[in-house]
Chains A and B, each alone.
Chain A
Amino acid sequence: MSAAPVLQVQDLSVRFASAQQEVDCVSDFSLSVARGECVGVVGESGAGKSQAFLAIMGLLASGGRARGSARFESHELIGASHEVLDGIRGARIAMIFQNPMTSLTPHLRVGDQVAELFVKHRGLSWRAARARALETLERVQLPEPERRARQYPHELSGGMRQRVMIATALACDPVLVIADEPTTALDVTIQAQILALLAELKSAQRLSLVLITHDLGVVAGLADRVAVMRQGRIVECGPVGTILRAPSHAYTQSLLKDALRAEGPDP
């Protein structure tokens, strides 16, 4: 993986300022993601994992300011205009969020939410876009895709909604997918299915994947490299085998201890 990285983040910092106080929630964040690589970003809630990537996507809440650099292909994302970002987001970089119920539009049929991307980014007619949407829903193994495509988000189970969410992410064949706690809201058997799907898509399409999670077990199945975050900083970063087998930072060790409690019976 010596080729130029797909995403190169350098010295990113995110600061939220209100009249009363300023909070640095990400500091000195540097990370690169290569083509076809999955980088796991791990840490507890409040570690700044999500804010770092929301900043990169230009999605910070008001009052938030990002500094530093995030180069994606030939574009600088930090400080980019809405026009530039709109051309990239959803098409070249896609995002999968934790809660598919709140990130899907409740009053649109799920098939149309996928089709919308083909209309917007590929200029297809709605008719052609719906056909492509159906193919995409098949690709993410949504059961009974033709019937489901005509349903609304509330009619689907959590696992199916997350498949739809992944379909919207994959619709325009992005280079990079940022998955923010994609399985946290799901039951454990459904979580395994969604992780298996992401693993399959990653290897079949040489997708670059950023996997944001608090669960080292989730990272172990998918990631090539892992960055561990604490209090807005990366405290440790390296190949998944090194980080999970021989973590050098005390914080990683404690996370690992929490995760090892998780193991089931010996096979």
Chain B
Amino acid sequence: MSEPLLLVQNLEVRYRVRHGAWGRRAWLRAVAGIDFAVHAREALGVVGESGCGKSTLARAILELVPHTAGRLVFGGRDIDALTRAERQRLRADLQIIFQNPLASLDPRMHIEEIIAEPLRVHRGDLMPRERRQAVLDLLGELGLAQDLSWRYPHELSGGQCQRVAIARAMILHPKLLVCDEAVSALDASMQAQIIALLGAVKETHGVALLFISHNLQVVRELCDRVLVLYLGRMMELAPAQLLYARPLHPYTRALFEAIPIPDPEIQPARLAHTMPGEPPSALIPPSGCVFHTRCQHVVALCRRQIPAWEEVGDGRHVACHRWREI
């Protein structure tokens, strides 16, 4: 395969936090040992529950939070080795859309200003007329009426706001679009529309997607490959079709089993077999495999030794001592 667009190598992000009654300082490792690649035009999904480090990962890739170890290589170049000017240029290629569309749009700017702002920053060579034309073209492509361009964010629906956020991210034709829970705040039918739109944007603009979501079914519709995180560690990475056909990691399986199915003959029985417990604190992560405290297949080895990130064929990776037997 060709050189990846984004290479994440052994990435770690630690936060300095205070905890306990005396506000003792401690390190919280939000993500650790993250190793994956995103290829051009690919959609990679990142799934996991709250607190698993999904958003930290997104922010670290955009350098919105500094990573404390590991490497980020974008387009063949180590991000840490870039000069300020080069980083500034890189930002045009790396864009993000956030979960809450209303909160991520400036309430005092009208829609055209919001979408044109990246052009003002990165494309000083364009005339105002050209900027305006670029905005209007993109509005049309994303299914927004042109007369919305003079409205303010609060006048728009959640779905329209998210389309504006997509337009703002896409106006510079980035190579990688990071979507951090981009559809989680929307109704099911609106979710379906925005997902279809992101799929279309991916095809027409040839942009790669890093699609972060807690929702496995949303990821299924859009993504070529899926990475499963738990407590800041990678559990499983696989082509989407294979993962959804046969998850290997017990955590991935538990996630699938927890999804409520609209079938009254099956669903009550599924509820009777729910995975107990809650994710442990990231301040005091469990020894060995971080998932061992909730895993139904746990053995002594799991408590003692961190499972290796094993390549298991068909482009699949899994971190579990027992994936072969279970």
Q: Any chain A CB within 8 A of the CB of B324?
A: no
Count of B residues near A, CB < 8 Å? 38
Q: Any chain A CB within 8 A of the CB of B49?
A: yes
173-213 of chain A: CB within 8 A of chain B: 187-193, 195-196, 199
Q: In the complex, what's the smallest C-beta–C-beta distance from B238 to chain A, in angstroms?
A: 12
A87 to B254, CA, bound (A): 43
Do residues B262 and A260 form an inter-chain contact, with CB atoms below 8 A? yes
Do residues A240 and B187 form an inter-chain contact, with CB atoms below 8 A? no
Q: Any chain B CB within 8 A of the CB of A263?
A: yes
When the two chains form the complex, which single residue of B49, B264, B266 contacts A240, counting CB atoms closer than 8 Å?
B264
Count of A residues near B, CB < 8 Å? 42
A240 to B259, CA, bound (A): 18
Known: A193-B275, A264-B259. 15 other contacts (CB 8 A): A187-B49, A189-B255, A192-B257, A199-B272, A214-B187, A217-B260, A217-B267, A221-B268, A240-B264, A241-B264, A244-B263, A255-B188, A262-B217, A263-B217, A265-B245
A214 to B49, CA, bound (A): 20
**Interface of chain A, main secondary structure:** helix
Q: What are the nearest 3 A-B pairs in CB distance?
A: A217-B260, A264-B256, A220-B267
Q: Please tell me which stretch of A48-56, A74-82, A110-118, A154-162 contacts chain B, meaning at least 4 of its Cβ atoms lie within 8 angstroms of it.
A: A154-162
A219 to B268, CA, bound (A): 10
98-153 of chain A: CB within 8 A of chain B: none
**Closest residue of B by beta carbon distance from A188:** B258
Do residues A192 and B275 form an inter-chain contact, with CB atoms below 8 A? yes
Given contacts A189-B255, A265-B246, contact A256 B272 (CB under 8 A): no
When the two chains form the complex, which single residue of A44, A195, A261 contacts B271, counting CB atoms closer than 8 Å?
A195
A258 to B267, CA, bound (A): 17
Do residues B214 and A188 form an inter-chain contact, with CB atoms below 8 A? yes
Given contacts A220-B262, A220-B264, contact A264 B271 (CB under 8 A): no
11 A–B contacts from the bound complex (CB under 8 Å) = A44-B187, A45-B187, A157-B278, A159-B278, A188-B215, A189-B254, A192-B275, A195-B271, A241-B264, A258-B188, A262-B261
| Chain B 132-168 near chain A by CB (<8 Å), digits 1 or 0 | 0000000000000000000000000000000000000
**Closest residue of B by beta carbon distance from A189:** B258
Task: Collect the chain B residues with CB atoms within 8 Å of residue A223's CB.
Answer: 264
Task: Collect the chain A residues with CB atoms within 8 Å of residue B244's CB.
Answer: 264-265
Do residues B259 and A263 form an inter-chain contact, with CB atoms below 8 A? yes
Q: In the complex, what's the smallest C-beta–C-beta distance from B134 to chain A, in angstroms?
A: 34
A245 to B267, CA, bound (A): 13
Q: Any chain B CB within 8 A of the CB of A59?
A: no
Task: Collect the chain A residues with CB atoms within 8 Å of residue B50's CB.
Answer: 158, 187
When the two chains form the complex, which single residue of A188, A190, A240, A254 contacts B189, counting CB atoms closer than 8 Å?
A254
Q: Any chain A CB within 8 A of the CB of B221?
A: yes
Do residues B260 and A218 form an inter-chain contact, with CB atoms below 8 A? yes
Task: Collect the chain A residues with CB atoms within 8 Å of residue B260's CB.
Answer: 191-192, 195, 215, 217-218, 220-221, 262
When the two chains form the complex, which single residue of A44, A190, A219 contacts B188, counting CB atoms closer than 8 Å?
A44
Q: Any chain A CB within 8 A of the CB of B237?
A: no
Q: Any chain B CB within 8 A of the CB of A9?
A: no
When the two chains form the complex, which single residue of B49, B192, B220, B261 contacts A217, counting CB atoms closer than 8 Å?
B261
